[in-house]
Amino acid sequence: MPGITVADQILTGVVACWHAKQLGGAAAKIGDLRRKHEIAPPRTDGPDEFIRALRAQQNCLEFGVTFEIVLWLAGIFGHQVPAAVLGAIFVYSREQYFNGYIQDAEKRIKPFWMGIRALKGLFAVAILGLVNTALVHYAGINVPNMIKDKLF
């Protein structure tokens, strides 16, 4: 089995950088709202706009670790293209979630579920890639090649 090259993960890396920028932007927005509403840390109470933004940022952080893990597992063991596409959908949905939540709590729901579906897709790509890699490595069975041989 050939090794993974840097070029095999360019798209995955671009999505990971976009995600890091997004998390930094959310933190900056919280800082802006703290100054706007004169809310000194460690306080977490204040106007609804601030509380919704803080909750949205925390939710993005909570999902961030899971996202990064399955993004990279999907890219490495699956393939960078589906990993990057699903990752981009997730990051886009988180942007919509964050901005929508600040405006009105109800506006977070649709993008939240879009992100969950993308995360489930990443998880599926990661698991299928891990299973195939294990089968190739330990049993000499390559399921995608078997399917391709049957179809063509």
- Residue 1 placed within a domain: no
Number of domains composing the chain = 1
Cβ 55 vs Cβ 47: under 8 Å: no
Two tokens at 142?
A: 């390559």
All residue ranges of the chain with pLDDT < 70 are 1-2
Q: Which domain holds residue 109?
A: 7-151
Global pTM reads: 0.93
128-139 burial, b at 16+ Cβ within 10 Å, e below that, comes to bbeebeeeeeee
Residues known to be catalytic: 35, 108
- Residue 43 placed within a domain: yes
Q: Which residue has the tokens 């993308």?
A: 118
pLDDT of residue 2: 66
pLDDT of residue 3: 78
